[in-house]
Structure 1
Amino acid sequence: MGAGIAVMFKRKFGGVAELKEQKKLTGQCAVLTRDKRFVYYLITKKKASQKPTYDSLRQSLEDMKSHCLKNGVTRISIPRIGCGLDRLEWSKVSEMLKQIFKCTNISITVYSLPQKTENTVMMENMRR
């Protein structure tokens, strides 16, 4: 949680100790509850300096889906996960999302920062 959009989530939602206490492994999903909603943290790599694989992302998304189904979640809003500093291809990630959530009633809204803002955020986070 030291770079990219994770830094913004850490500032907005806090809960780093709460997340660590969950002792989640790569391929799992940690969860915070804030204001009657869930904030999902996909664990796609062991260290921030590493790069995720499509397989670890898929496993994390499957874990998140399971939590959603158990808890009646029907809407998820996400950024273009894995496609900023982690350099995964959005075309592959978006197809993965479609496949994982196709047989559910879960609606996913994907948000993108304007390119200039995204580049600025990424550069600021890389300096830290």
Structure 2
Amino acid sequence: MATYDGADDHEDVVDQVTAVGGSKFSLLHVKGDLFSCDESESLAHCVSKDMCMGKGIAKLFKAKFNGVTELKKQDKGVGDVAVIKKGGRYIYYLVTKVKYNHKPTYDTLKSSLKAMKDHGMKNNVTGISMPRIGCGLDRLQWPKVEEMLKGVFKDTDIVITVYSI
């Protein structure tokens, strides 16, 4: 398993998709360490309602940002987003399943993405960095998730940067 050590080792953008219709939405693909993104960018990843975060990148988010008690107090349901603010950015916890050992559906992920978009637009978020959400341990298919991201964010000015190693 690759580690995310926070080193500034990301490469230049390898792919970019920009929406039409006047928005400034972009979906960027970067090879590198997610945690090396600019500290002005918000971060996002998928979690279960129980906020276990014991495996995969969720475990790294838990170690880096703590906040489990605060997240549990928000009592967000499946299809929603829990949020903590660290420094000048938001950390988004997309609640896509009930328990850590369950698998999300495309519908629960889409609902969580919409909730994140709404929060981001209300709070003037301009950039969100994330891994290939839902596609690691959760086993969703990246081409479908990527199209979902484009559909949800196409009418915004939010730049989504997807990190892969």
In the superposition, the TM-score normalised over structure 2's length comes to 0.68
Q: Secondary structure at the match of 2:82?
A: strand
Which residue of structure 1 aligns with residue 112 of structure 2?
60
Normalized per residue, the structure richer in strand is 2
Moved over 3 A (4+): none
Structure 1, unmatched stretches of 5+, are 114-128
Which residue of structure 1 aligns with residue 98 of structure 2?
46
1:72 aligns with 2:72: no
Which residue of structure 2 aligns with residue 32 of structure 1?
84
CA distance, structure 1, for counterparts of residue 144 and residue 98 of structure 2: 22
Which residue of structure 2 aligns with residue 15 of structure 1?
67
1:112 aligns with 2:112: no
Structure of greater relative contact order (alpha carbons < 8 Å, 6+ residues apart): 2
Identity of aligned residues (%): 61
Q: Aligned-pair distance for 1:4?
A: 1.3
CA distance, structure 2, for counterparts of residue 31 and residue 55 of structure 1: 20
Structure 2, unmatched stretches of 5+, are 1-52
Which residue of structure 2 aligns with residue 120 of structure 1?
none
Count of residue pairs brought into register by the alignment: 113
Q: Aligned-pair distance for 1:52?
A: 0.1
- Give the residue type in structure 2 aligned to 1:24: K
1:103 aligns with 2:155: yes
RMSD: 0.5
- Give the residue type in structure 1 aligned to 2:57: I
CA distance, structure 2, for counterparts of residue 98 and residue 57 of structure 1: 13
Q: Aligned-pair distance for 1:2?
A: 1.6
CA distance, structure 2, for counterparts of residue 47 and residue 4 of structure 1: 15
In the superposition, the TM-score normalised over structure 1's length comes to 0.87
Which residue of structure 2 aligns with residue 123 of structure 1?
none
Which residue of structure 2 aligns with residue 118 of structure 1?
none
Please list the CA deviations of residues 5-62 of structure 1 after superposition, one character each: whole Å capped at 9, or x if unmatched: 1000000000000000000000000001001100000000000000000000000000
